[in-house]
Amino acid sequence: MPCGYGIFKKGRFMYNLNEFGKEIKNIRKKGYLTQIDVAEQIGMQRDTLRRLENGKSVPKIETLEKLSSIYGKDIFMILIKHRITIDNYISKHIHEISKNFRNYDYEKISNEITRFEETFSKSNYYNDAHMQTKIHQYKTYLECLANIGKTLDDKSRENIIQLFLSLGLTQTKIKNRRFYIDKLELRIIILLGTVYRFKNEFVDTIELLDIALNEIDTSFKHDREFLYYHILVQFNRMSYYHRLDNFDKVKTIYEDTLSVIDHEIGVNVLFGFLTRSGMNKHFLQEPHLDGLVQTGLQILKDSGDLPQYENNLRKLKEKYPFMNLDIKYCDQTNES
Per-residue pLDDT reduced to its tens digit, 246-304: 999 999 999 999 999 999 989 889 888 988 888 787 778 776 667 788 888 888 889 88
The per-residue b/e assignment along 164-188, b for 16 or more CB within 10 angstroms, e otherwise, is: bebbebeeeeeeeeeeebebbbbbb
Q: In sequence order, what are the beta bridge partners of 15?
A: 8, 83
Q: Which of 139, 70, 69, 147 is CA-nearest to residue 106? A: 147
Winning range, highest mean pLDDT, from 78-92, 110-124, 212-226, 313-327: 212-226
Report the C-alpha dihedral over residues 204, 205, 206, 209, rounded to 10 degrees: 120
Q: Output b/e per residue, 327-336; b: 16+ Cβ within 10 A.
A: eeeeeeeeee
Report pLDDT for 237. Answer: 92
Q: At residue 335, does pLDDT exceed 60?
A: no
**What are the pLDDT digits (tens) for 42-51?**
888 889 899 8
| Residues present in the chain in total | 336
| 147-161, 213-227, 278-292, 313-327: which is most confident | 213-227
> Are 69 and 63 a contacting pair, CB within 8 Å?
no
Q: What is the mean pLDDT of residues 183-193?
A: 88
Q: pTM of the prediction? A: 0.69
Whether 11 has a pLDDT exceeding 60, the answer reads no
Mean pLDDT of the chain: 81
Confidence of residue 169 (pLDDT cuts 50, 70, 90): low
Query: What mean pLDDT is predicted for residues 88-114?
Result: 89
Find the helix or strand (DSSP H, E) in which 15 lies: strand 13-16
User: Coil, strand, or helix at residue 199?
Assistant: coil
pLDDT at 189: 87
331 falls in which pLDDT band (50, 70, 90)?
very low
Question: Contact 185/174 with Cβ under 8 angstroms?
Answer: no
Identify the structural domains of the chain with CATH numbers, from first to last.
Answer: 2-84 (1.10.260.40), 86-244 (no CATH), 267-335 (no CATH)
Distance of CA 240 to the CA centre of its chain: 22
Q: What are phi and psi of 2, to 5 degrees?
A: -65, 145
